[in-house]
Amino acid sequence: MQKIYLLALALLSAGSGLAQDGPQLPPRKAARVSAVPNPNFRADPKSRIANDLQQLYQRSRAVNSPRQLQSEFAGLTLTPATGAAQRGAAASSTPSVMVRVTAEDVSALLPQLTSRGFQVVSSYPKLHFVEGYMPVEQLAPGTAGVGALGNRGLLGVLPVLQPEQRAGRVQNQADYILEANRVRGARPTSYNGQGVRIGVLSDSYNNLSGAAADVASGDLPANVQVIQDLDKDGSDEGRAMVQLIYDIAPGSPLSFATAFTGEGGFANNIRALADPARGNSKVIVDDVFYFAEPMFQDGVIAQAVEEVTTQRGVAYYSSAGNQANLSSEYINPAFLSTTAGSADLNFAPTGSPSDTRQRFRVGKGQTLRLSLQWSDPFYTTAGVRTDLDIYLLRANGDTAARQASNNLLLQTPAEVLTFNNVANDTITLYDLVVRRRAGTADPARVKYILFEGNQPREYFTGSGTIVGHAASLSAQAVAATPPIAG
């Protein structure tokens, strides 16, 4: 078997950028996470619709422009009314948003969802969820919206946050650094990847309409198989990755599929790339991470990785990410009672005075983004027994940002918080609070990862950040490293 593909995948999993001798694509978009634009918005704590989506609905009553809504709720995936029609649905007067619907019985609930205009992207009944596009009008409170299906087995409606592309910020020099050119020239048999199909998963392949020019310039082969491309708004990071592979292993057949259609769609395209009747890839690489991928168990993407590696013999490579040790993890965490039965996480280590406030510095114009999870299970109808909320407080006690969905109703043990400090704000010091709601259980473990922002000024544990499918048993999590000066 050709061996050069190992070098190609080691490089591409690190997501180190565009091929050095390839055409320059526009810079990739920065990772975006949904944030509630108005921290004073009071979501209904008894609603089965997540906070972000509740506020999206309220804002849509005042804003008629899907473009403006997408700008304000940058981490969500919104599609205009015409987008639903393009996917085969009847046209709607309002935009749709990509969501995950959790349910006791997905198959039984699905006809009720589709009758309300829901468009399925991926469905996993055994894992109690389906992902797709929900008309924003269906996020209405009370009996007017999809939340009224609670008596039909609906558990919750959560946003599918736009994932992170784990790409670096420098151009690729891997052919030289890895000495792949020497491998290709080895005698008596050179290795150029011939006969080993490589599959690539990223955002898009040809949203910028440059693939034909790359073929004409010799930066891409003419026969790249595209199983599924992103509908719109991609940066073509996937095409850049294919350029890198083609430089290093020019004999390898190449396939691409988007990973930006939700976690379920990502998992489906892993299987499609490995399917002998479709992609037939023997090596698969991605540079994508979803912020709500489970940290303490194999999620739907990790399960797909395990399936193709053990059943199809695929070598799977994923990016280790760019978070280094920007994580804090608390085993057997202590929660200190506050008021009305709720309790706050004690960040201070054992033997130190208790402190339920963790100080961060967020400079003017900077962003703090973190994903919090705990050790309750995903994909369950009654296994989530803990409800944690996140607050970022100013020094005077005012709330600067919050994320406070009802995790028991949604049956999802995760919260993702984003705070953007406006450039003219004179305050730069904030306190993080993790609050357990009254009547819910203490979790065995709590962990958060910083995806943007500086580490806290106190009580920082510096824990690992390789989680999700990159941490699955059969995946290879790969990172880039600077060359050592000779």
Distance CA 133, CA 429 (A): 38
Question: How sure is the predictor about 484, in pLDDT bands with cuts at 50, 70 and 90?
Answer: low
Q: Both ends of the chain: CA-CA distance in Å?
A: 33
CB 330 within 8 A of CB 445: yes
* Fold agreement between 4-29+165-321+470-478 and 327-464: no
Angle between helices 300-311 and 262-274 (to 10 degrees): 10
CATH level 3 topology of 4-29+165-321+470-478? Rossmann fold (3.40.50)
Two structure tokens written together for 110 = 């699905």
**Neighbouring C-alpha atoms within 13 Å toward the C-beta of 267:** 24
The pTM score is: 0.88
Domain 51-161, architecture per CATH: 2-Layer Sandwich (3.30)
pLDDT tens digits, residue range 310-364? 999 999 999 998 899 999 999 999 999 998 899 999 999 999 999 999 999 999 8
Q: Give, for 81, the enclosing helix (H) or strand (E).
A: helix 81-86
Residue 14 has pLDDT above 50, yes or no: no
Distance CA 102, CA 381 (A): 8
CB 102 within 8 A of CB 411: yes
Q: Identify which has the larger pLDDT, 176 or 267.
A: 267
CATH 2.60.120.380 correct for 327-464:
yes
Q: Report percent pLDDT > 90 for the chain.
A: 70
Question: How sure is the predictor about 424, in pLDDT bands with cuts at 50, 70 and 90?
Answer: low
Q: Report percent pLDDT > 70 for the chain.
A: 84
Q: What is the mean pLDDT of residues 146-163?
A: 95
CB 240 within 8 A of CB 15: no
Distance CA 448, CA 392 (A): 14
What's the pLDDT score for residue 268?
98
Mention every residue, 6+ apart, whose C-beta is less than 8 A from residue 192: 2, 4, 184, 249, 250, 251, 252
Q: Domain boundaries in the chain? A: 4-29+165-321+470-478, 51-161, 327-464
What's the pLDDT score for residue 168?
52
Distances (CA, A) of 326 to 79, 192, 252, 375, 463: 33, 38, 37, 19, 7
What's the pLDDT score for residue 143?
86
